[in-house]
Structure 1
């Protein structure tokens, strides 16, 4: 078996060159065997350094994401305080929250209720009068996802509907379910120009909390 391997390597001298990952599993040769062996040692070191750089990049990305997530948590806390003292929730959401959350726009949208009874119909009319933007029936589930409370998107679609006049500035957004007691489907849309404002990792819980706070403020 060893002779077959040796014969194959002699017939294919570039075999290890084309498969540098194998150097990580090979025992390093001694330098006393000559410069060719020393080249193998250099290749093994290069392969390990390449792997280490890859791991370092992953760690740095995780750290950056964690910091961005922590920053978002602090921003949401400030937004909660603003909503707690707000006398006009729509004005607070659209005028104050963008600066507090470090985003370009915050909008509230809701779906029309077809064949709605009493309370839902009244809520829909009140939302329109208060300045809520309309969205087609089924938009909440389609955009956020069935059973999901929040979603950060790096590819923005339907920007004009979701972010109105700020649409051209938005490069990523967060779509948050606002669970109203009346049952009317309602969405909080955050539009950001800077990707760091809306990190994609470990943010769903924080954004979902913001959605619940907005719902509580609207119900006052």
Structure 2
């Protein structure tokens, strides 16, 4: 025997009355303590009902709410930035350890080309040295630059961050087309040719002028120390 179809009651529930709200709050005295965000949503009563007197309380409360929202936004931005900085610092330390474990100039060239992109979340990394009085090691992955190339590229600085740029084939070779932003870091190993550690990203804002350069400088010092130990071993 066929069952009768059941009808679904789609009638919306009646709105909550003011009396019900008041009664609920009386029975739950800690409700606003448990939900402090609601206080910022409530409209406080005016102390004056019309007339020539202006109630500045409303204006002050409105300003305080705006300041609270601004402070909340600043706090969230600070937390996000701190987490990003910690992640970058951890990545840099891991990259430094990989470089120290390379063991030779050949190993250094391999770590820069193969390991640094993944460790530092970039798309390409290269290393090279200027031609000078001392012969450069002939090692795959180590690029050769003409004399004064670093001065023309970096000027007097040690680190250059470029956003919304195109990659220089002299620095990035065939991978220059991948580069939309880059970091160029001077290498100045004692009594050895000057060099350049370069990293490029597809992201136009992967590197930009507002970033700090301390960690890049730290990584350059690690690379310089390794170069001084391994230069003649290959």
TM-score by length of 1: 0.62
Deviations 1:119-172 (A, max 9, x none): x2x23xx34x65532334433234344252x34433445432222222232333
Residue number among 83, 105, 108 corresponding to 2:102 in the alignment: 83
State the partner residue of 1:204.
216
> Does 1:161 pair with 2:173?
no
Distance of 1:215 and 1:83 partners within structure 2 = 11
Structure 2 residue ranges without an equivalent (≥5): 1-44
Inter-partner Cα distance in structure 1 for 2:192 and 2:230: 13
* Cα distance in structure 2, aligned partners of 1:85 and 1:108: 14
Deviation of 1:66 after TM superposition, in Å, equals 1.9
Q: Does 1:33 align with 2:48?
A: yes
Q: Trace 1:15-94 onto structure 2 (pairs within 5 A).
A: 31-34=46-49, 37=55, 39-84=58-103, 88-94=107-113
> Is contact 1:78-1:100 (8 Å) kept?
no
Q: 2:186 aligns with which of 177, 186, 190?
A: 177
TM-score normalised by the chain length of structure 2 = 0.59
More helix as a share of residues: 1
2:197 maps to 188
Q: What pairs up with 1:9-20 in 2 under 5 angstroms? A: none
Secondary structure in structure 1 of the residue aligned to 2:131: coil
Q: In the aligned structure 2, how far is the partner of 1:108 from the partner of 1:179?
A: 12
**What count of residue pairs does the alignment treat as equivalent?**
182
Shift of 1:174: 2.2
Whether the aligned pair in 1 keeps the contact of 2:96 and 2:219 (CA below 8 Å) is no
Q: 1:85 to 1:100 in 2, by over 3 A?
A: farther
Is there any run of 5+ residues in structure 1 with no aligned partner, and where? 1-29
Distance in 1 (alpha carbons) for counterparts of 2:144 and 2:176 = 16
Query: Higher relative CO (CA 8 A, sep ≥ 6), structure 1 or 2?
Result: 1
| 1:99/1:204 CA distance change after superposition, 3 Å | closer
Alignment of 1:100-179 (within 5 A): 100-113=119-132, 116=133, 120=134, 122-123=135-136, 126-127=137-138, 130-146=140-156, 148=158, 150-179=159-188
- Alpha-carbon displacement from aligned partner over 1:193-216 (angstroms, at most 9, x marks no partner): 466799933423322233324423
SS at structure 1 position matched to 2:127 = strand
Q: What's the offset of the Cα at 1:63? A: 0.8
CA distance 1:145–1:56, shift in 2 (3 Å): farther
For 1:212 and 1:42, locate their aligned partners in 2 and report how far apart those are by CA, in whole Å. Answer: 58
The farther-off stretch of 160-169 and 54-63 is 54-63
